[in-house]
Structures are given as C-alpha cells and as structure tokens.
Structure 1
Amino acid sequence: MVTPDFIRDIRATAGNQLLLLPGVSAIVFDGEGRVLLGRRADNGRWSVIGGIPEPGEEPAATAVREVYEETAVRCVAERVVLVQALPEPVTYPNGDRCQFMDITFRCRAVGGVACVNDDESLEVGWFAVDALPELKEFAHFRIKQALAEGPAWFQPMHDQ
C-alpha cells in the first residue's frame, strides 16, 4: 500500500506513534461469481483490494478508485457489507504503527480486464469462491459477508 501524501505529512510530526486510519476494502464479483484478488507487492500475499480514502473522498468512491488503480477493473459499489476496527495494529518495517477502521463494500465489475495496474500488486486475478488462494482469515470473513444477504456486519456492543 502506498502511503498517501497527507499521511506522510502527519508522520512528519507524529513520528511512528500509533495512528487510527480509515481503510476501505472492495470485494468485487464478476458475472460468473468470481472474486477479484491481488497479490501484494509489499508482502507477497493474496488479498482483497483496498486502500485509504483521500481527504474528503467518500468511502464508496475510494473502493471504486482503488479497484481501478490496482487492477484496471471498473466496478460499482453495491452495498456496505462490514464495518470493523482491525483488532491488531500493523507495524511497518520503518516502525510506523497503524490500526485501521475498515469499511468493506460488495462491488460488481462493469468493465476492464484484470491486470496489474500499479506497483502495489505483483499479480491480480479472478478466483472462484470455492478455490481461493491462501488468504488471511479477515479476507475470508469479508468475502463471506459480501456473499451473504442482509445488513452490514459490525461487532455488537456487549452489555456493560
């Protein structure tokens, strides 16, 4: 994931301290029901497509933009399927620490041909949901929620 300029500006004064950042993920399906994935350049793992909104950018627009930037696939966001704070902060090799609040959208592909479209991915491709490559559990959970009908998933509050 390329660090947006506005976060670089924050890091100039905040250093490596933990930042809570917005994240947007897109679970993109094609007409055959396959899901679009990218193999990340930073860690070599397959993942759903996602990124950080630019200041003032709506989350659904972020999903559509990130999908195109990373894969050359045009899509439309259909609905929010999940809102969740990732449980563990991420520490990057340079020491920067972030915890992401993820909004996941179910998206439908409407054009383009899947290909590596930037330097964030090593490969991109369409996968049948019963033949996915190795993914982190959170990616599987987001795909499962995108396949389910019903309201967006969120972690319910426990009685206090």
Structure 2
Amino acid sequence: MTKKLDYIRFIREKVGSERIFLNFAGGLICNEEGEVLLQKRGDRNAWGFPGGAMELGESAEETAIREVYEETGLKVTVEHLIGVYTKYYDEYPNGDQAQTIVFFFQCKTVGGTLKTDGNETLELKYFPIDQFPPLFVKQHEDAWEDWLSKKKGCFR
C-alpha cells in the first residue's frame, strides 16, 4: 500500500501562500426528517457542508465519499451532482490563498455513525431547512440555494 500524499502540503511547500487552484468535493446529506447535516468546522468555527480537498488520483465522487466519512463518520453514496462552483476566492487563516473549485453532491447515508474529532469537526448537526445557520463561504451558500431550487448539474 502506498502512502497517501497530502497534496495541499506538497504544493504549498513549492509555492508558499500564493494563490493557486484547489479542488474540493463535498456532500449535502438529509436525514429521514428532511433535515440537512452541517459540520461546524474547526478551521473557521463556522458551519458548512462536510467535504474536503481532492488528493491526486481521486475522482470528485471518491473525494466526497472519503471526506464525508472522515469528517462525519457516515458512509454515503452519491445520488447526483448538485453543481460545480469555480469562480470563488478564499484566504485561509494561515494566509494561504486559493481559487477554490468545489464539486457538491447530493449524498445518501448507507451506514456509519455521526462522530466528531474535535479538530476538523467541532460539531455535527442536522438543521431544518427553515432554520439554517449562515454558511462559512459563498460556494456553500450558492450550492445550498441551488439545492433548495431543486437544480442539478449547476455550474458557476
């Protein structure tokens, strides 16, 4: 078995904090009551959808499935693509800059149990659609709006 490469660390060692493209994938997951799962992120202390960075050799779907599991403890399958969100910029707390590209999927839980790690994930909570908290970045807000509008395969 080969050691997994931490792509972001690898590339940042070469370019420092300069603006680069970073690819992410995440999932929108509903429970049986129709509430939507959000993750309180450790890096921002704010709510967002579970997901994370793609590693070399992964597809966007594989990334979403892996990241949802790592951040929530839930095993999921991808039902469909909500959208691809590409023209967004972020500056991280450590000063790193990126144009972030996010693939958002509607996911279905097929196993696992909710768990937090106290580091990447501070809290996990299902929210009713009409009681949604602010989300930590515009990409998540746009994906949320597209999902509420029942759109599929969006691109922004």
TM-score interval, normalised by the smaller of the two chains:
0.7 to 0.9
Matched-pair identity in %: 34
Looking at secondary structure, tell me which structure has more strand per residue. 2
Task: For 1:130 and 1:93, locate their aligned partners in 2 and report how far apart those are by CA, in whole Å.
Answer: 30
- State the partner residue of 1:131: 131
Q: Could you report, residue by residue, the CA deviation over 1:8-32 in whole angstroms, capped at 9, with x for unpaired residues?
A: 1222221211111111121111222
- State the partner residue of 1:158: none
Superposition TM-score, scaled by structure 2 size: 0.86
Task: For 2:46 and 2:107, locate their aligned partners in 1 and report how far apart those are by CA, in whole Å.
Answer: 21
Task: For 1:143 and 1:80, locate their aligned partners in 2 and report how far apart those are by CA, in whole Å.
Answer: 13
Task: For 1:127 and 1:81, locate their aligned partners in 2 and report how far apart those are by CA, in whole Å.
Answer: 19
Deviation at 1:91, TM superposition (A): 1.7
- Superposition pairs for residues 32-47 of structure 1, below 5 Å? 32-47=33-48
Superposition TM-score, scaled by structure 1 size: 0.84
Task: For 1:150 and 1:7, locate their aligned partners in 2 and report how far apart those are by CA, in whole Å.
Answer: 31
- State the partner residue of 1:59: 60
- State the partner residue of 1:100: 100
- State the partner residue of 1:16: 17
Task: For 1:152 and 1:111, locate their aligned partners in 2 and report how far apart those are by CA, in whole Å.
Answer: 26
Q: Any unmatched runs of 5+ in structure 1?
A: 156-160
State whether residues 91 and 97 of structure 1, in contact with CA within 8 Å, keep that contact through their aligned partners in structure 2: yes
Residues 105, 57 of structure 1: alpha-carbon distance in 2 compared, 3 angstrom cutoff: same
**SS class of match (2:129):** coil
Q: Any unmatched runs of 5+ in structure 2?
A: none
- State the partner residue of 1:146: 147
Could you list the structure 1 runs, at least 4 aligned residues long, displaced by more than 4 angstroms after superposition: none
Task: For 1:11 and 1:120, locate their aligned partners in 2 and report how far apart those are by CA, in whole Å.
Answer: 19
State whether residues 29 and 106 of structure 2, in contact with CA within 8 Å, keep that contact through their aligned partners in structure 1: yes
Deviation at 1:150, TM superposition (A): 4.7
Task: For 2:123 and 2:33, locate their aligned partners in 1 and report how far apart those are by CA, in whole Å.
Answer: 20
Task: For 2:41 and 2:121, locate their aligned partners in 1 and report how far apart those are by CA, in whole Å.
Answer: 4
**SS class of match (1:133):** coil
State whether residues 36 and 124 of structure 1, in contact with CA within 8 Å, keep that contact through their aligned partners in structure 2: yes
- Equivalent pairs counted in the alignment come to 151
